[in-house]
Amino acid sequence: EVSKPSNFIKTIIRRDLEEGKNESRVHTRFPPEPNGYLHIGHAKSICINFGLAKEFGGKCNLRYDDTNPVKEDVEYVDSIREDVRWLGFDWEDREFYASDYFEYFYECAVNLIKKGKAYVCDLNADEIRKTRGNLKEAGAESPYRNRSVEENLDLFQRMRNGEFADGERVLRAKIDMSSPNMNMRDPVIYRIAHAHHHRTGDKWCIYPMYDFAHGLEDSVEKITHSICTLEFEDHRPLYDWFLQELGVFHPQQIEFARLNLTYTVMSKRKLLTLVEKKLVSGWDDPRMPTIAGLRRRGFTPESIRNFAEMIGVAKSNSIVDYGQLEFCLREDLNKIAQRVMVVTDPLKVVITNYPEDQVEWFDAENNPENEADGTRKVPFCREVYIERDDFMEDPPKKYFRLSPGQEMRLKHAYYIKCEEVIKDAEGNITELHCSYDPASRGGWTEDGRKVKGTAHWVSARHCIEAEVRLYEHLFSTPNPDKAPEGMDFTANINPDSLKVVTAYAEPSLAEVEPMQKYQFLRVGYFTSDKDSVSGKPVFNKTVGLKDSWAK
């Protein structure tokens, strides 16, 4: 395998290995909260964490950060497992759940209370926010801050026992109400929520907050490098504080810039809004930036991994051009997609000098990039369909496709020449009458005359109907998070992001398995959808043929 480019995280890891830190182990984790489907941003994090483990001979855990029961669900747990596996990563038996550590988190909280480092506070959420102060002004200490250890232990036990209502009390760390870092101003570490948890059921009615739980999860699993996004940089002192106060194994938190992509929103909350408001067909709608959506659209795991490698790992936020993702996709599809002929906007052509009852079967190569993919038979007869825009009645100079009196090559078949244009009463072109040159079989002639244009086509007697779903970006602006005054991001939805057409396809496409990758010659890359039925395939447009982004 080629050596991968370095980045600042690898530099840190190399130094740690040289110094023999953590017995020279490398152990990372990917810690999703199961409150939605994974998106392309998560894919970056997955590739980084699993990639580092692989490169340095270490391990990477899949850990569900399931500490917030109200928003979590087993549907999400299952989808996450499927998506990480599909991306090509393996966590073996290291699938963990933060909820399995609830008893341990509780003990840790009790230890903090015993050390005088945590207290039960009766202020409500609003009061806590108001007394927190701001960057210019120190916060006010809670009137409950100096409760005795005994009273705190008793109240915390009673919180656990379910004696209080949601929001009535919280447990707070006792740190510093005048810290310049707001996260250190006595953060809440436990809250009351009488909510059913998808794994622990009704066993708990208090749940730990993210900042408290996350470091402990890392610590329990002996994670060496805890990699997270930049927003958590200001939380690192708190991460370190908990682990130091508790005197437990201390992983190193390292922050990197999250992935942002043009024409996309990438927060689970917003993606959930799209699903709930039925602005898309579901989490796996091919226009969604979710891994499930990208998969259904026709992305390959390789293309997503290559993309993650190409954008690299940086310390400052930026927005990546969606075209870069498509570039990686096209590169991979060009290698693997089976070439087929499908006419998406048909115009009938009658070849008047071709024998009425004759049918020929031409050999067509499946993939010029890979000879091993072989050939298939494509039928040809007197009536074929070509794309409507491969004909022009009144063409400009240097038009090499079909026009009156001009020849064009039908891929794999013959040269045809347009002899007559047939129109209806309104003057719309309904069909073309052409002649063919029997000596041009296979697409060339002995006389070596130049026929520049080559078109795809299907036999009108053999083709089948296919439903083709043509997609554009889901949003019409490059930065859809920025909404017009008084509106939310859904105001930026592109009303034309899906167009469905009936296309005519060569008969080899009558029976397709979902997720097969095709290049419709001259049209684009397409992937068969799970909605396909026998004799009536459905295809999603994956990406166009042309590059809009150059390396």
**CB closer to Mg ion out of 38 and 171:** 38
Q: Is 472 in the site for Mg ion (CB under 5 A)?
A: no
**CB closer to Mg ion out of 33 and 531:** 33
Three-class SS of 207-274? EECHHHHHHHHHHHCCCCEEEEEHHHHHHHHHHHHHHHHHCCCCCEEEEECCEEECCCCCCHHHHHHH
Instruction: Return the residue of 112, 209, 266, 340 that touches ligand ATP, per CB under 6 A.
Output: 266
Q: Is 318 in the site for ligand ATP (CB under 6 A)?
A: no
Q: Is 236 in the site for ligand ATP (CB under 6 A)?
A: no
Q: Is 310 exposed, middle or buried (0-12, 13-18, 19+ CB in 10 A)?
A: middle
Q: Rounded to the nearest whole angstrom, what is the least distance from the CB of residue 144 to Mg ion in the complex?
A: 29
Q: Is 32 in the site for ligand ATP (CB under 6 A)?
A: yes
CA separation, residue 457 to residues 139, 349, 454, 541 (Å)? 73, 10, 10, 19
Q: Is 132 in the site for ligand ATP (CB under 6 A)?
A: no
Contacts of 485 (CB under 8 A, 6+ apart): none
Quick one: DSSP state of residue 371?
A: G
Which one, of 413, 402, 426, lies nearest residue 347 by Cα? Answer: 402
Q: Rounded to the nearest whole angstrom, what is the least distance from the CB of residue 12 to ligand ATP in the complex?
A: 17
Sign of the torsion angle spanned by Cα atoms 400, 403, 406, 412: positive
User: Residue holding tokens 């579901």?
Assistant: 282
Total chain residues near Mg ion (CB under 5 A): 1
Q: Rounded to the nearest whole angstrom, what is the least distance from the CB of residue 390 to ligand ATP in the complex?
A: 42
Q: Which part of the chain contacts ligand ATP (CB under 6 A), choosing from 29-37, 273-281, 340-348, 355-363?
A: 29-37
Q: Is 373 in the site for Mg ion (CB under 5 A)?
A: no
CB atoms within 10 A of CB 270: 17
**CB closer to ligand ATP out of 80 and 205:** 80
CA separation, residue 116 to residues 145, 185, 392, 480 (Å)? 10, 16, 84, 47
Residue among 63, 268, 296, 469 flagged as catalytic: 268
Residue 266, binding choice from Mg ion, ligand ATP, none, Cβ under 5 to 8 Å by partner class: ligand ATP
33 belongs to the catalytic site: yes
Q: Rounded to the nearest whole angstrom, what is the least distance from the CB of residue 48 to ligand ATP in the complex?
A: 8
Q: Is 33 in the site for Mg ion (CB under 5 A)?
A: yes
Residue 45, binding choice from Mg ion, ligand ATP, none, Cβ under 5 to 8 Å by partner class: ligand ATP
Which one, of 88, 89, 29, 90, lies nearest residue 61 by Cα? Answer: 29
Interface with ligand ATP in residues 326-365 (CB under 6 A): none
**CB closer to ligand ATP out of 111 and 273:** 273
258 belongs to the catalytic site: yes
**CB closer to Mg ion out of 33 and 331:** 33
Q: Is 258 in the site for ligand ATP (CB under 6 A)?
A: yes
CB atoms within 10 A of CB 297: 24
348 belongs to the catalytic site: no
Residues 432/422, Cβ–Cβ less than 8 Å = yes
Task: Give catalytic residues, as residue numbers.
Answer: 33, 258, 268
Residues that bind Mg ion (CB under 5 A): 33
